[in-house]
Amino acid sequence: MRLNNLQLINFRNYDNLHLNFKRNINLLVGKNGQGKTNIVEAIYMLSFGKSFRTNKDKEIIKFGSENLYIGGNYLKNSSKGLIEVAIGNNKKGIKVNKIHIHKIQELLGNLNVVIFSPEDLKLVKDGPRERRSFIDKEISQIMPKYYNYLVNYNKILIQRNKTLKNRIVDENLLSVYDESLANYGAYIYVLRRDFIKKIAKISNEMHKKLTGNNEELLITYKNQINLTDEDTVKDAKDKLLSKLESNRQRDIETRMTKYGIHKDDLNIFINDLDVKLYGSQGQQRTASISLKLSEIELIKQEVNDNPVLILDDVFSELDETRQKLLVENLGDVQMFITSAELAHKRIFDESETAIFYIDKGKVTNIEDGGN
């Protein structure tokens, strides 16, 4: 899978930009604040329909403009595609192959993109929310209907928590919410369980490569209903519904929903020690890299093609040994790499690398003198 080109109109600090990309390495070099991350942000939007930097679409429209356009031609499993995103008048329109889509799940999975940023290096040591976000984002790319389950679950959770905050709580209404939460939550539990089992196996293999077979990485699913490998969706629903009902009075007292998929997490161990608590910073970073690499491999297995990889200012956070290990384990993945240092180009094969120099929203392709 690869992104062949990108067009931006009134996006962040770009008036009208058109870039053609190499199938292997695309290195975006420039000082901070010049527009490197803006380009990879736009690529991300072609995959997910939203920014990874803000939830407010109006913030990405160029100052003084009223609308923006992002377009990109891509190749997936030898089939060509075009994704376009337009934002204006507080509305967003997305087209896939010139056809308007009405739900984000219709966009997900067309162009698979994995982003690796400095924040991801803290994936292991940060809180459960970051790890849930990692899980949710990747399952949604592989299985767009998961995104629909998640949206519906979160809507009901918000309604249930609002009801719990009322002076007089309507328990009949809570029963209705509990049934719906258990229904959507059950599908999410089972899909998360199956995803984590796959990614745990792949990430352990990756981790062995990165550590010269000196460390074993063990990842398991931490959930509140003691889900087993044999449990069906119905089993998960029954377990979750039982939890919600048996803890209802406590939820009423605390005015919040204690149990559900919104509390899930990952257990992460290196050589039988909890790396979140006892791992060194180097071990935590290597475990995070293993997780991100396993994400790439799993997408490849599920869709029969490599995803596009964004490395946003990651190299500055890694020593040269880990930089090389990361690149060596990426194979023929198309990469978009932002860096403030041109020196990072020495890590890559020059014949497979396009270098774009970015200065104040102007992009120059160093290889051919202009873009």
Q: Are 15 and 9 in contact (CB under 8 A)?
A: yes
For 25, 27, 54, the CA distances from 328, given in Å and listed in that order, are 13, 16, 32
55 CB contacts (<8 Å, ≥6 apart)?
A: none
95 CB contacts (<8 Å, ≥6 apart)?
A: 82, 83, 84, 101
Provide the β-strand partners of residue 18.
7
Residue 31 marked in a binding site: yes
Q: Are 209 and 329 in contact (CB under 8 A)?
A: yes
Q: Are 2 and 324 in contact (CB under 8 A)?
A: no
Q: Where are the beta strands (DSSP E) in the chain?
A: 2-3, 5-11, 14-20, 25-29, 67-76, 79-88, 91-96, 99-100, 113-116, 217-222, 265-270, 273-274, 308-312, 335-339, 353-359, 362-365
23 CB contacts (<8 Å, ≥6 apart)?
A: 2, 334
DSSP 61: B
Q: Are 26 and 96 in contact (CB under 8 A)?
A: no
Residue 35 marked in a binding site: yes
Helices (H), 211-319: 233-246, 248-254, 275-278, 281-303
Location of structure tokens 């053609």: 20
Residue 331 marked in a binding site: no
For 134, 179, 186, 193, 301, the CA distances from 221, given in Å and listed in that order, are 13, 23, 14, 6, 21
Residue 34 marked in a binding site: yes
Residue 36 marked in a binding site: yes
Location of structure tokens 């979750």: 240
Residue 279 marked in a binding site: no
**Binding-site positions for ATP:** 30-37
**Binding-site positions:** 30-37
